[in-house]
A and B are shown apart, each in its own frame.
Chain A
Amino acid sequence: MAALEASLLPLSGPFGHILILFPLVFLVYLGAGALAWYRRPSNRMGALILWGGFAVFVGGLPNTDIPILAAAGQIGATLVLAVIVHLLHAFPSGRLRGRVSMLSVATAYVTSLLLQAPGYLFSPGGSAPDLFIGENPSLVAAGGTVQKLAGAAVMLTTAVVLVGRLVRADNQRRRVLVPLFAYGAAVMLFIPFSGQILKVLGHPSAEVQTWLQLLAIGGIPVAFTWGMLVGGFAKTGELQELGSWLGATGAERPALTRALARVLGDPSVQISFWVPRREVFVTEDGSVAENQIGDSNRASVHVELDGRVIGAISYDSSLISTPEPVREAGKVLALAMDRERLTAELRRSHTDLQRSRERLVDAADQERRRIALDLHDGLQMHLVLLALDAQKLANTLGGSAPDAGAPQRATTLRKGIDSAAADLRSLVHAVMPAALIERGLAAAAEDLVDRMPVPTTLELGIGARACSPAVESTAYFVLAEAMTNVIKHAHATSVRISLHLVEDWLRMEIHDDGGGGARLSGATGLRGVMDRVDVLGGQASLVSRLGEGTHIVVELPCM
C-alpha cells in the first residue's frame, strides 16, 4: 500500500522530497503497529497504531491526481489528529476507560471528520473540487471556528485526563508515561498550530512546516510502541503457552505467577488461593492476600474448578482492560492452581509448624520433668515410709512378746499401700487415660465430663475410634486442658462441649460461661496442646473476652 501511495504521489514534482514522507511515515506506523500487536496479542494498542497508519495514508491522498482518492484524503485530512487523541487516551491497554475519555475521543473524531466538512464543501479552494457544493464563506468560517473550539476542548480534557493518570500512576509507570504523554500532547498541539509556531521561529516556509508535521506524526507510533515495550510490558504469550508451561515438570518450572504475568503481560499479576477452612485468600508464599478493593487500578477475577472457587487472580485494570483474558487464563490454570493452593496452605503453616515443633519438644521435656518430680516427691516418699512401717511391723512380730496391735497395724499398712497405688493410678491416668486407650476419644471425653465439678454437657457426634489415635488423643488433651482451666480459673457455672465429624475433620467446640480472659500465651498447658494441633495440621481458635466466657474451637484432619 505504501508503494501504491508512493506511485500515486507526484514524487518527481517540486515537493517530491516531502511527499515521499507520507508512505514512509505510513510504513513506520505499519511496522510499529505490527510489532506492538505481536508483542501483546491481547492488547489493542497495536491495532490502534495500525489505524493511525491508515489515517496517515489518508492524509497523504489529497496530493494525488486521482479525484476520488483526493476527495477521500480531503475528508480525512485531520483524522490523524483524532487518532493521536485516541492513542493517548487508550494507552496502555488500547481500550478507552471512563466516560470522559470516551467522550473526548468521540468529540475528536467528530471534530476531525464532520467539522472539517464545511472547509471542502463550501470553499472552492480545496484540493478536492469534486466535493465542492457551493460557495458559502460564512459557513466555512463558522465551521472553522467551531472546529477550533471543539478541538481546543478536546485538547483541554485530554490534558486533564492525562495529568490525572500521571498523578495516580506509580513511579515506574510514570517514567514511561511522562515522556510519552508529553510527546503526544506536543504533537497534538504542534500540528494545528505549526504555522503560527514556525512563524515565531522565523520559518514560514510551508515546505518545512509539512515536513516537520509529518516527522512529528511519524514519531507517534515509535513513541507508543517504545512506551509499551519499556513499560514493563514484556512480550506476552498465548494461552497455549500457559498450557504447555503447565505440562512442564521439574524444578526449572517457573512459579505460577510468573508464567501468568508473562501470558497476560502484566507484571503485577497476583495469584491467591482460597482456603475454605479459614475463609481467606492466601498468596503463593502463604501470607493472607491483601484486599485491594480500595485501589481503582486493581481488579480481580475468581478462578473456579468444578463450580467452586479455588482462588483469584488480581491484575492491573489499567493494563488489562477487560477481565476476559484473565478469566480465560484462570480456566487454563484452575487445575494447577488447585495443586498450588495446597502448597500455599502448607507454606502458610510451615513457619508456625517449626515453632510449634520446638515448643512441643520443650513441652515433652517439661512433662517428663513433671512426671519425674511427681514420682520422686510423692510416690517414692510414700513408698519409703510404707517400707519403714512394714519393717517396724516385722520387728514387733519377730519379737518375743507378740503385739496385740499387729493386725491393726498391718491393715493400716495395706491402706497406705492402697493410697500409694491410687496416686500412681491417677498419675498414669493423667499421662494417658484408660478410656482413651480402651475406647478412644468419645468414651474418654464422656469420662472426663463425668468427673467435672461444674454442670457440663457433651454433644457427641462421633462414633468409637472415629479418627487416628494421634488425632483423638490430641483432641482429648486439648479438652482435658480446657477443663482444667475451667476448674482452676474460669468460675463457670456451665460448660458445653461438642464433638463432631465435618467432612473428614474432627471439630471440637468448648464453651464456658466463666470470666473469660484466657490466653494461649498465659495458659501454657493450653499452648502446649495447641501445638500438637498445629503439628497434626489442624487449626485452633481461642476467643476469651473478659466477662464473656471462653470459647475454643479445634479442628483436626481426621485420618
Chain B
Amino acid sequence: MHVVIGEDEALLRHGLQLVLEDGGFTVVAAAATAVELEKAVEIHRPNLVITDIRMPPTHTDEGLLAALRIRRQYPETAVVVLSQHMQRRYASELLSSPNGRVGYLLKQRIADIESFLADLLVVAAGGTALDPDIVALMMARAKLSDGAVRALTPRQHQVLALMAEGRSNSRIAAELFLSGKAVVQHTSRIYDALNLPLDSNSHRRVLAVMRYLSES
C-alpha cells in the first residue's frame, strides 16, 4: 500500500512514517506543504494520502482543501485528514466527496497505533472513518433537538456512534463484546427509530447517519 504524507512538523512527519512503515505501508513521499503534497500525489498516485489540515504557507486550512481536491481528481486515492480539533463543517465537506475513501481523525489517534492503522485500511478499502470526538459532538447536538435520538437506549447510542464512525458490524461486535446477531438487531432497531434506509455499504451508512444527525 503506497502512502503520501502531508505534515509540516518534521518530528511528527518522521514519527508517522515510522508507524506506517512498521505497519506494512510503503511511504512513497512525505511533504511539508500542501503544494508539495499535491505534487507528490500527482507523481506517485498513492493508494492513500494522510495530511494535516494546517500547513504552510498560510497555516489555515490548505491541507483540508488539498485533500478535497485530491479526492476529486484521483478517485482511487483515499484521504485521511488529521486535525488538532474536530469540526462538523470539515466532516461534512469530507463526506461530500464521492464514494467515501475519506477519514477525519484527531491527530492524537496516531498514538493508538493498532486502531489507527485499522482505520487507515478501512478508508483505503473504500470505507469511511470518523473520529469518535466528532461523532460524539454530533450525537450530543442531535440529542438536544431530536426526540428520536433521545429515545434510543444507551446501547443503541453506542452502536449508532460506532456506525457513524464508519465501523463495520463485525468491528462494532468486537468493540462492544456483542454477537454479530445482536449488532444486526441493534442496527435494524436504530434504522426503524430514525427512519433510515437500510444499506450495507459502509460509506453510505456513515453518510446516512451523519446526514440524519446533522439535520436533526
Contact = CB atoms under 8 A, between A and B. Distances in A.
Contacts of B108: 418, 421-422, 425
A447 B88 contact: yes
Interface residues of A, number: 22
B61 interface: yes
A455 interface: yes
A522 to B, nearest CB: 28
B11 interface: no
A443 B87 contact: yes
Contacts of B112: 414, 418
B87 A437 contact: no
A451 B137 contact: yes
A438 B88 contact: no
A428 interface: yes
Interface stretch (B25-33, B52-60, B95-103): B52-60
Nearest to A428: B84
Given A434-B83, A439-B60, A417 B111 contact: yes
B145 A455 contact: yes
Interface in A240-271: none
Contact of A429 (B53, B59, B85): B85
Interface string A419-434: 0011001001100011
A438 B54 contact: yes
A367 interface: no
B111 A414 contact: yes
Contacts, number: 54
Given A425-B85, A433-B85, A443-B89, A438 B60 contact: yes
B144 interface: yes
A425 B137 contact: no
A262 B170 CA distance: 92
B85 A446 contact: no
Nearest to A450: B88
A450 B137 contact: yes
A421 B85 CA distance: 12
Contacts of B60: 437-439
Interface in B100-137: 108, 111-112, 137
A166 interface: no
Nearest to A437: B60
Given A425-B84, A437-B60, A438-B60, A446 B111 contact: no
A451 B88 CA distance: 10
Nearest to B144: A455
Interface in A412-469: 414, 417-418, 421-422, 425, 428-429, 433-435, 437-439, 443, 446-447, 450-451, 453-455
Contacts of B44: none
A455 B142 CA distance: 10
B141 interface: yes
Contacts of B54: 434, 437-438
Contacts of A438: 53-54, 60-61, 64
Interface in B61-90: 61, 64, 83-85, 87-89
B141 A450 contact: yes
A435 B144 contact: no
Interface string B169-198: 000000000000000000000000000000
A429 B87 CA distance: 12
Interface centre among B54, B64, B85, B137 (most CB of A within 10 A): B85
A425 to B, nearest CB: 6
Given A414-B111, A418-B108, A450-B137, A434 B144 contact: no
Nearest to B141: A450
A241 to B, nearest CB: 58
Contacts of A454: 144
A443 B89 CA distance: 8
B144 A453 contact: yes
B38 to A, nearest CB: 18
Contacts of B140: 451, 453
Contacts of B141: 450
13 contacts: A414-B112, A425-B84, A428-B84, A429-B85, A434-B53, A437-B60, A438-B54, A438-B60, A439-B60, A443-B87, A451-B140, A453-B144, A455-B145
Interface of B: 53-54, 59-61, 64, 83-85, 87-89, 108, 111-112, 137, 140-141, 144-145
Which 7 A-B residue pairs are closest in the complex by CB-CB distance? A434-B85, A438-B61, A438-B60, A455-B144, A447-B87, A450-B88, A421-B108
Interface of A: 414, 417-418, 421-422, 425, 428-429, 433-435, 437-439, 443, 446-447, 450-451, 453-455
